[in-house]
Structure 1
Amino acid sequence: MSHGPGIMARVTPSDVPAPFRVLAVCTGNVCRSPAVERLLAARLGAPYRRPAGPGGARRGLLPAVEVASAGTGAVSGAPMTDRMASLLLEHGCDPTGFVARQVTPGMLRGTDLVLALTAQHRSAVIRLEPGAAVRTFTVRELARLLLDLDPADLPGAGATTADRLRAVVPLAAARRRAVPPRPEDDDVIDPYLGTDAQYRTAFAQLAPAVLEIAGAARR
C-alpha cells in the first residue's frame, strides 16, 4: 500500500513477524531446562520467557527470538535450584526470577524448536503434541547434527539469528534421517537432588551443545 508524502504507514500487529520461539524441556523444570533457557538466551542476546506488561500485554517491540522452558512433570511455581543458579552465574548468565511450569500442548504448538534434555523427554513431547516431532530434538542431538553443517546452507548476509534458526530446523531434521542415532551421547543426566559433581556433569553435557546451537545461529 502506498502513502502520500509525509504520511507514515501504520504498523499493525499482523505486519510484525512473530518471534522464533525455542522451548527447552526436562522433567521438573528446575535445573536442566532452566539452564538451557538462560544460557541459550544469553548467547543469542534473546529474552527468556515472553516479555509482558500488566495483564500479560507485550511491552515494546517483538524480539526476533524468544527462549523459554517447561517440564513434563514440573515442580510448578518452584524456583531454579540453587546449584544450577550458581553454575549459570559462574558462566555469566542471569538465573533470577525463574519459575517452573508444566509443559502443555498449547506451548508446543506455539514453539518453533523444542530442545529436550533426554530422548525420553523428546518422546513425552511428541506424545503430548505429535505435530512437534519434526521440530523436537534433544539439545545434544541437535548440536551433533550441526557439527559439520555447511554455513552456505544457512541464510547469508542480512539474515537474522531467527532466519538462521528457522533454516536450521528442517536441515537438522533431514540430517537426522541420514545420521545414525547415538542415544548414549544425546541425554543430559538429571542432577536433581544430586551432588555438586552431578550438577557440574549435567552442565558440562548441556553447555557445549547450547553453544554449538547458538554458534550455528550466529554464523
Structure 2
Amino acid sequence: MAPFSVLCVCMGNICRSPMAERLLVADALALGGTDADLYVHGAGTGGWHAGESMDPQAAKQVLSRGGDVSGFRARKLLTEHVDASDLVLTATIEQVEFVVALRPDAAARTFVFGEFGRLIRDVRLPLGLPDVYSRGVALVELADAARAGRAARAADELDDPWGRADAYFSRVADEIHATTKPLAAALFAR
C-alpha cells in the first residue's frame, strides 16, 4: 500500500510549508508512524528560493518542537507534486486558488491549513479502517463534506513570518501544530 501523501504549500517554501512538513513528520513519528505510512513534502508557489535551506528561524521552531531539518531544500510547486498528493495544505486562500488553477481536480483535497484543522475537529472516522492510507483518504473526504462548499476564513490562513521576530515564527508554528497534531492523531490512531 502506498503511503498517505501530504503536500504543504506556501509562497517560497522556506518558512511556513517547511515548518508544516517537518512538524507533521515529527508528530507522526511520535505516534509510531513511518515513511511507509506517511509521505510529507512541500513546495512554494514561487520558485525564487528553490534549492535553498529552510529559513533559520523556521528551522529553530521545528527543532524546538522535536522535528528534524536535515536535508531540506526548497522547491517550486509543480503539477506532479499536486498529483502525487492525497491532501494539499496551503498557508493561504490565494495558494488554494493557485493549486486548484494548476490542477482543478485537486479542489476536494486542497485546504487552507487552519481550515483543515478546524474541520477535522468535528469529523469522526468510521471504525475499522485498516491502515493509515485509508484513514487519511476518509479524513480528507469527511473534511471536504464538512466544508460543504463554504470558503475558508481569513482566520484559517497562516501569516507569513519571513523577516519577522522569533515570537512571530513561534506563533505561526503553534498554529501549524494546532493542525498537525490532530491530523497525526487521526492517521495513527490505534
TM-score, normalisation: structure 2: 0.90
Which of 73, 79, 83 in structure 2 is aligned with 1:105?
A: 79
CA contact (8 A) 1:118 1:138 kept: yes
C-alpha contact 1:155 1:163 (8 A) present in aligned 2:
no
Q: Which has the higher contact order (CA 8 A, sep 6+)?
A: 2
For the aligned residue pairs, the C-alpha RMSD in angstroms reads 1.7
Distance change (3 Å), C-alpha of 1:101 and 1:182: closer
SS at match of 1:67: strand
The offset of 1:82, in angstroms, is 0.7
Map of 1:68 onto structure 2: 41
Pick aligned residue for 1:85 from 38, 59, 64: 59
Contact 1:79 1:99 in 2 (8 A): yes
Distance 1:18 1:141, change over 3 A: same
AA matched with 2:7? L
Deviation of 1:47 after TM superposition, in Å, equals 6.0
- The answer as to 2:169 corresponding to 1:199 is yes
Q: Which runs of 5+ in 1 are unaligned?
A: 1-16, 49-62
Of 182, 185, 189 in structure 2, the residue corresponding to residue 215 of structure 1 is: 185
Question: Compared with structure 1, are the counterparts of its residues 181 and 131 closer, same or farther at alpha carbon in structure 2 (3 Å cutoff)?
Answer: closer
TM-score (norm 1): 0.79
Distance in 2 (alpha carbons) for counterparts of 1:44 and 1:154: 20
Distance in 2, Cα, partners of 1:83 & 1:43: 20
How many residues are aligned here? Answer: 185
5+ unaligned residues in a row in structure 2: which ranges? none
Structure 1 segments (4+ residues) deviating >6 Å: none
- How far off is 1:182 after superposition? 5.1
C-alpha contact (below 8 Å) 1:139/1:206 kept by paired residues: yes
- Bigger-Rg structure (1/2): 1
Shift of 1:155: 4.0
- Which residue of structure 2 lines up, in the alignment, with residue 43 of structure 1? 27
**1:159 deviation in Å?**
2.2
Determine if contact 1:155/1:167 at 8 Å carries over to the other structure: no
1:47 and 1:65 in contact (8 A); partners too:
yes
- Could you list the per-position Cα deviations for residues 5-56 of structure 1 after superposition, in whole angstroms to 9, with x for gaps in the alignment? xxxxxxxxxxxx22221100000000100011111112123567xxxxxxxx
The residue that corresponds to 2:12 in the other structure is 28
